Amino acid sequence: MFIENIRDTIAAVTTGSGKSPVGIVRLSGPQALSIVDKIFVSKKGIKPSAFKTYTFHYGSIVYDARTLDEVLVSVMRAPFSYTREDVVEINCHGGLLPLKNVLDAVLASGCRMASPGEFTRRAFLNGRIDLAQAEAVAGVIEAKTESALKISLSQLKGGLSKELGRISRFLTDCLVVLEAQIDFPEEDTGSRDRPNIDKELSSALFGINKLLEGAGAGLMLREGVSAVICGRPNVGKSSLLNALLKKERAIVTSVAGTTRDSIEEVVDIKGIPVKIMDTAGILEPRDLIEKKAVSRTRAHIRSADLVIVLFDAGRRLTKEDRLIMRRLRMKDNVIAVINKIDLRQQIDGGAIRKAFPRVVEISARKMKNIGFLEEAIYDFVYQGKSADSESVLVTSMRHVEELRKAQGFIAAASSGLSERLSAELLAQDLKDAVSCLDRILGRDSSASVLDRIFSDFCIGK
């Protein structure tokens, strides 16, 4: 468990590892300026503690009578910094050795090494951002597509927090009325107030339902959609992978069973990060290697968010095709693709359409109708709704779990209102619902929850 001492001054390298032109060592805490005073020699002879906020200064880091690097030092004074503490950033040359030497000098001068996510944790603890915004920082860093980045930036600006605050106000307004009924029963305003309470509860429930409806798309945008391409041998699975990637990644031959193991790539499809896996197309293994390949294929199909099953338009449905159709028939996460439409058509397309609600006809080799398949993948993620760039999407499973709990408490209160239950029981349900929303925002979060969230951050953020 992470033990906080917010009075410590912390430091870490905030830039990625490897060779780069510039690397940054960041300090945050009450002693940040005085620590850098010890090791920074300005060309103008001025100490960092005398620098104005939001200014850069050129000089050298000198420790133990040895010049470690020529640097630029920037100062951001509390409370107008990322952490709301004094923050100093030392811009070094980006090699591993200069950064290590400067960080070592900083630590030896009075800092301690920051824990993963500790800078952002301090921003949360010091009230600059709420917990949902803190989690969005990780989303910005991890974003794989422009759409995922936009959603995380919206959350970082407080988009989700504002929506949760709006829902919480509906519940709080109801609680005020119910508490008045509890405290002043002689007033007997229950009958008059209940229609207003019902209206507020409906508004709150509508807001939560809307967030939960978009959660599937939000989670996929954050984590990426895992998609498996499957089908019998030689239907064009590797050709389809290459077509979606817009480059040759998988070996394509006319020999059935060329792909003997899974190949995985990530592709941006209309702003959605899709982890596509081309699997072995062998249904009746001939040796131990093929047996293992088939086993992996079936495991990938079971765990995938999306299954893309291919059929060869130039051949009639085979026994293997029909076996695949029986296994995947009417599953709601399957897109059936009739490939090789550039050939003379022999397949029974009607049978495929009866088995699968989503069917796309393409020619992977000729790159024909690939856009239709990308559109089908997009519709699968957004459930046929257009993605509104201004809409608020939930991208965390933790948030989903709390929203579902809140949904249950509000539904119970609404039902209790219809059954004319006591104000005390209704109020307790609403208090529990508000607590769920507060935990998303970090107003009611245990240290163990914070540990779990920030432990996934990189050191230096």
Give DSSP secondary structure letters for 368-428: BSHHHHHHHHHHHHHTTPPPPTTS-----HHHHHHHHHHHHHHHHHHHHHHTT--HHHHHH
What is the residue-averaged pLDDT of the chain? 87
pLDDT for residue 353 is more than 80: yes
So what's the pLDDT on residue 257? 46
Partners of 58 in beta bridges:
72
Least confident of 45-59, 128-142, 323-337, 383-397: 383-397
Under 8 Å between Cβ of 9 and 31:
yes
Peptide bond into 48 cis (omega under 30): no
CA atoms within 13 A on the CB side of 382: 18
pLDDT for residue 249 is more than 60: no
User: Confidence class of residue 310 from pLDDT cuts 50, 70 and 90?
Assistant: very high
pLDDT for residue 283 is more than 60: no
Q: What is the mean pLDDT of residues 297-303?
A: 84
Q: What is the mean pLDDT of residues 355-367?
A: 94
pLDDT for residue 454 is more than 60: yes
So what's the pLDDT on residue 224? 87
Top pLDDT among 17 and 422 is at 422
- Tokens 């989503």 found at: 358
pLDDT for residue 355 is more than 90: yes
Give dist(CA 2, CA 448) in Å, integer.
8
Q: What is the mean pLDDT of residues 235-250?
A: 82
pLDDT for residue 186 is more than 80: no
So what's the pLDDT on residue 189? 52
User: Confidence class of residue 265 from pLDDT cuts 50, 70 and 90?
Assistant: confident
Give dist(CA 6, CA 24) in Å, integer.
22
So what's the pLDDT on residue 101? 96
Top pLDDT among 233 and 79 is at 79
- Please name the residue ranges forming H helices in 258-317: 288-303
pLDDT for residue 1 is more than 50: no
Instruction: Kindly report whether the global pTM for this prediction surpasses the value 0.75.
Output: yes
Going along the chain from its start, the domains and CATH numbers come out as 10-127 (3.30.1360.120), 136-214+394-442 (1.20.120.430), 226-382 (3.40.50.300)
Find the helix or strand (DSSP H, E) in which 351 lies.
helix 349-355
pLDDT for residue 259 is more than 50: no
Least confident of 92-101, 251-260, 317-326, 353-362: 251-260
- 3-state DSSP call for residue 278? strand
Q: What is the mean pLDDT of residues 94-118?
A: 94
Give dist(CA 56, CA 38) in Å, integer.
17
User: Confidence class of residue 258 from pLDDT cuts 50, 70 and 90?
Assistant: very low
